[in-house]
Amino acid sequence: MEWKIGDVEIENQIVLAPMAGICDSAYRRIVKSMGCGLIETEMVSTRAVMHLNRKTREMLHMTDYERPIAQQIFGSDSESFKIAAEYIYKNMSPEIIDINMGCPVPQVVKAGEGVALMEDLPKASKIIEACKRSGKVVSVKCRIGMNPEKIVIEEFARMCESSGADMITVHGRTRSMMYEGEPLYDYIRIAKNAVKIPVFANGGIDSKEKAEMTMSKTGADGVMLARFGFENPLLFAELTNTKTPDTKYTLIMEQLDIATECFDELFALTYIKKLSSYFMKKLPGTKKYKQDLYKCGSVGLVREVLGRIFWG
């Protein structure tokens, strides 16, 4: 079903989560081919955008095929967000800027970034307002709070809406839970009921049944897939009723072609080995397969080894 986030039209309510080290252009393209309605990039530091280098430029690269796309940025002060958002809109033209207020990793939190911003609502509000000055669509990705004693999602969601956010994605865990345990669906529902803008649910969605259950329990407008979508991109196709390649081998070969087109051989090899490792998780003899795969020093050898792994 087609609908809108702000004035951005998307084909359905299935979103790719912005996973660091994973959501580069090559992976985003394969997910798009699986019918994903909105693509999110891996997060980029606002400071890195302000001091642009080659790596940051590569991280900001996006293609028209991936659109509509949301560029996620993270930082700790409104001025750097304002400058980064303006630069990204002017030079990359994503349809949406997504603000990371949910990353739980220690180095990010210690810098006052990611989920740490949920403890300072006035600062978080200024950041959203700074990004909105571009006049473009802005979304916020957050958690439900820092720990069970500091669950602030209802107040936080209202702050996001009043500050101009067009959408919120709620990871239904506290920072202290990291990525473990069942998401606390009731708090996602609380966020949904607190605001009029779209609220998406994130966390633990590993199947069509889990996606449907999450929607039912939370009343969310859509779902965001993270690591389970990386382990099995075919899940996007299942959720969007999109025709897919016949086998995981075909999908990996398509992804390898895209990776070699986008990157140099060394990076393409690293990327496809990582992706293939996830794909072969449930295959018997996985340990030996991975050893063979990681010994490969060329794209040609990777193709040969993957052929043996999936076809025998």
Domain end marker among 189, 215, 240: 240
| Domain termination residue (choose one: 217, 240, 263) | 240
Residues 169 and 22 in one domain: yes
Q: Is 103 considered catalytic here?
A: yes
Note whether 289 and 171 are same-domain residues: no
What is the residue range of 196's domain? 3-240
Same domain for 119 and 52, yes or no, is yes
Are residues 267 and 234 part of one domain?
A: no
Each residue of 87-104: b (16+ CB within 10 Å) or e?
Answer: bbbeeeebbbbbbbbbbb
Active-site choice (103, 131, 142, 160)? 103
Close Cβ partners of 147 (under 8 Å, ≥ 6 residues apart): 174, 175, 176
Question: For residues 138, 143, 146 and 147, what is the CA-based torsion angle, rounded to 10 degrees?
Answer: 160
Same domain, 178 and 129: yes
Say if residue 20 is in the same domain as residue 109. Answer: yes
Nearest to 182 by CA among 200, 199, 150, 205: 205
Which residues lie across from 40 on neighbouring strands? 70
252 and 229, same domain (yes or no): no
pTM recorded for the entire structure: 0.87
CB 42, CB 23: distance < 8 Å: yes
For the stretch 92-140, pLDDT in tens is 999 999 999 999 999 999 999 999 999 999 999 999 999 998 888 999 9
Token pair for 259: 């990776």
Look at the block and give the residue holding tokens 């709070």.
145
- 49-65 pLDDT, tens digit each: 998 888 888 889 899 99
